[in-house]
Chains A and B, each alone.
Chain A
Amino acid sequence: MQQFGMDASFGLISSRLSIEGPIWKDRISYFISGRKSYFHRPLERLNPELNDLYFSDLHAKLNFRINEKNRLFFSVYTSSDVYQAALGSDQVAGISWRNSTSTLRWNHLFTDRLFSNITFYTGRYDYYMYTDLNQGNYWNSHIDNFSMKADFTWYISPTNTLRFGARIGQNFMNPGNYYVNRRLFVMPYEISTKSANESNLYASDQIILSDNLSLRVGLRLTGWNNIGPATEYSVENGSLRTDEYYSGQIYYSQGAADPRISLVYKNPNNDILKFSYSRTSQFEHLITNSISPFSTLEVWLPSGPNIKPQRSGQLTIGYTHKFGETDMYFESEAYVKKMRNQIDYKDHAKLLLNPFLESQLLFGEGNAYGIETMLSKKAGRLSGWLSYTLSRSFLQVQGINNNKPYPSYGDRPHDLSLFISYRIKPRLELTSNFIYMTGSPFTAPTAFYYYENIQVPIYDKRNNDRLPDYHRLDLALNWNLRKKEGRFNHELIFSVYNVYGRKNPVAIHFNKIELEGGQLVIPYDFYSKPTLVASQMYLYQMVPSVSYHFSF
């Protein structure tokens, strides 16, 4: 609110710029920030069929101090990620992700001990898959929401703080419709969009019970209503049943009461013991059967007659120790998590243009447990941390893996990272980051068969194999160019991603042939049986980069 400021960074693949300053000193101020990538041009030289590729975003914020007790905050955010490429001779396909939100918040001080935030929020997220840009054919799914919430914080006493509030919101979801050039083809039906309203009440009380002990208890109540117009399908006595609901009709209701509690004990020897339990309910579901390391196909569905809310409960016990008067800490946390109504998919689930999308889903339970440890040094010329996590995560879904538990895609038992920052000179700092993780599980064939000379894999168990372990080392050198004290600050950052060029596979395939030049492609000629090879796909090896950053 006081003075103009600017912060910018220019890199080899993208740049960002943000500015802020007063409009009416001590009353109204603004903040605008944007990013844009420009790696499209060099990549186009490598691949002439690349049509467009960029990401960009813009964030603007306005702060208005009405008086000592009232402030208004207004912000808008929009982002767009686009990829388009030629497929074949005259067809251009692509994907884009678009996001836009706006928020209006009113901060009001009732007394010195009670204040509130009233927030109006709108948001929309769009996912586009263009099957033919020239013809204007695309598939789109989106999720919109509008909500209003009131949050209150009441400092009842120095040892008791109560937070409470309420929220009402309306959600609209388009699970995915295909929009085609109507001169060529008319879609015979539309996939029913879904609407639901959600209301929440919550309260959380933090009480300092003694010098050593504090307690936080809370409860969140949720009411969920699915609202027409909508078409819902179900299977009744083996036949498909269709139910039509009129506009505004509440046709399905659900509720949840999610408690949480945490207890923190601190002894004079700088030891902290923590215990917590929390339960959460999720009423909106991302439906995707993609396991691609590059992108997922995104369909959103609300809870409803065919999908129960996903629920989870987590128990955590933690311990923190500070080593004397040093800046070194040891932290450890063990957790157990149980999940219900987890979503998985039928084999080759048909998720696009399927009016009865829920028929492709399978439901089950999950459980995860683990222990996380971290040793950190938070200040000084040499700082950093060493962390290690031992964890497991399993799912059990009727209809998958002979109904037996199987490792989830996120099951990576060992996760180690070492971050070190060393200030070589007052203006020169070297940082290194080493990461090691067990490879992700994946489903590998257990046999093959032939159909019209096409070799088809046979699967026996879900996630029966693992990718090789993932590890890499990144280095960065930050050179602060500012020699004198002042507002203007600038620095050069040299960094190298994956210094030793580790090939970390993201996928293993068994369906390609090797051409005489060594290229790996999918066979297309089945005059005789193609000789398949196993192949791995990995992302970037070593990537050096340099960027310039300034601010004032």
Chain B
Amino acid sequence: MKKMEETYRNFRLRMKHRAWVALTLPLFLLAACQEKIDWDLDLQNNLKLVVEGKITDEVRAHEVKLTLPVFEINGEPEPVSGARVRISDGDSIYELAEDPARSGVYLTDPWVKGDTGKIYTLNIQVENFECWGVAGMSPVSDIKTPSYYRAQSDPALYRFINSGNNDIPNLLRLELDWSAVPGYDTLDEDDNHAIIYMYSFGPLNVDANQVFAPNHEQVLFPPGTLILATKESLSEGYAEYLRGLLSETSWNGGFFDVRPGDPFTNLSEGAIGYFSVCGVKRDTVIFNP
């Protein structure tokens, strides 16, 4: 009997805890159906530099990741190697070195730390292409434990609920690891780890497509899960970038769809992505409801 329970539990976990959220949204989901299709996109090989750059107020080596777009859905991005990447804070210029272990990832020296009140400029040179990004830092608030609920589909498991825009603008990244919880320790890495993001754009921000977002997969985890929470402050520009990114991804396909468009960026010369400077707070807890 115990073996059967374990097999059942493992089966559930192989499902990556992705129980479909019961229909939550409106009439259209009752009247509308969706299905997977093959769709030929008219993909254009229009090369643009993709930048994921971030400096925080922690003393550490900060990363700028450079890649190229992909011209097929789920394509593997090609890293951009051999670039010259510099960050200036008005007083000093930090030259970033490419990580020998990760092509396309550029690192500052490990003692660099971002500060509020300073304006940071990212400069990237790749062959004949050069672009800039300018950003400042907003302060970060304390981490509040997000609300969690027992999963209806399996009372032994829990899930987090996004608390919406009640906090000052921030991004909460939760890295969940239940690989050390007995009964779950033999699963594939993908089945006992998860990373989820929760966004708050402030109480004065109301986006209809956020309120009525489409159903997302559920990430269910057991008691004993190790949670590494990282909270990042969002400057006005970074919040605008993420709002656009979510409109095109997690909020797209709900009751209110907005006209598609590329998210705002602070990068010049047609580069895409964002260069952010964030205040950060971290916390590590064992989940014990």
Task: Identify the A interface with B (CB < 8 A).
Answer: 43, 46-50, 53, 83, 85-89, 93, 95, 129, 131, 139, 178, 180, 185, 187-188, 289-297, 344-350, 352-353, 443-460, 464-465, 503, 506-529, 531-541
B262: chain A residues at CB < 8 Å are 347, 458-459
Q: Are A525 and B249 in contact (CB under 8 A)?
A: no
CB–CB A537/B33 < 8 A: yes
Which residues of chain A are within 8 angstroms of B219 by Cβ–Cβ distance?
524-525
Of A95, A291, A534, the contact of B259 (CB 8 Å cutoff): A291
A536–B34 touching, CB < 8 Å:
yes
Q: Is the CB of A464 within 8 A of B26?
A: no
Contact of B207 among A48, A352, A448 (CB under 8 A): A352
Query: Provided the pairs A456-B245, A533-B36 are in contact, do residues A185 and B203 lie with their beta carbons within 8 angstroms?
Result: yes
A522 in contact with B253 (CB, 8 Å): yes
- Are A443 and B260 CB-contacts (below 8 A) given A449-B50, A522-B216, A527-B194? yes
Partner of A347, one of B31, B77, B261: B261
- Complex interface: chain B residues within 8 A of A449 (CB): 48, 50, 67, 69-70, 77, 272-273
Q: Within 8 Å CB of A537, what residues of B?
A: 32-34, 253
Give bound CA distance, A465 to B274, whole Å: 28
Chain B contact surface mostly: loop
With a cutoff of 8 Å between Cβ atoms, the chain A residues found around residue B156 in the complex are none
**Sample (16) of A-B pairs whose CB atoms are under 8 Å apart:** A49-B22, A290-B257, A290-B259, A294-B26, A295-B255, A347-B261, A348-B243, A348-B261, A449-B70, A450-B50, A459-B261, A521-B21, A524-B250, A527-B195, A536-B34, A537-B34
Q: Is the CB of B34 within 8 A of A520?
A: yes
B26-69 toward A: CB 8 Å interface, digit per residue (1/0)?
11111111111111011111101010100000000000000101
Contact partners of B34 in chain A: CB under 8 A: 509, 512, 520, 535-538
Q: Are A524 and B196 in contact, CB atoms less than 8 angstroms apart?
A: yes
> Contacts of A523 on B, CB cut-off 8 Å?
216-217
Given contacts A297-B208, A513-B217, A529-B74, contact A539 B197 (CB under 8 A): no
Question: Is B244's CB under 8 angstroms from A348's CB?
Answer: yes
The 9 closest A-B CB pairs, nearest first, are: A347-B261, A522-B216, A534-B39, A446-B44, A447-B69, A294-B28, A348-B244, A449-B50, A525-B194
Partner of A86, one of B24, B29, B255: B24
Give the residues in chain B near A83, CB-CB below 8 Å: 26-27
B214 to chain A, nearest CB (A): 6
Distance of A465 Cα from B272 Cα, bound (Å): 23
Chain B's nearest CB lies how many Å from the CB of A65?
A: 44
Q: How far is the CB of B229 from chain A (nearest CB, A)?
A: 15
B25 surroundings in chain A (CB, below 8 A): 85, 87
B264 touches A (CB below 8 Å): yes
Partner of B30 from the list A43, A352, A444, A533 (CB cut-off 8 Å) is A43
Known contacts A139-B206, A515-B18: does B197 contact A526 (CB below 8 Å)?
yes
Known A-B contacts: A88-B24, A349-B258, A447-B48. Give 11 more (CB < 8 A).
Answer: A47-B22, A47-B23, A447-B71, A503-B35, A520-B34, A522-B249, A532-B73, A534-B37, A536-B37, A538-B32, A539-B32
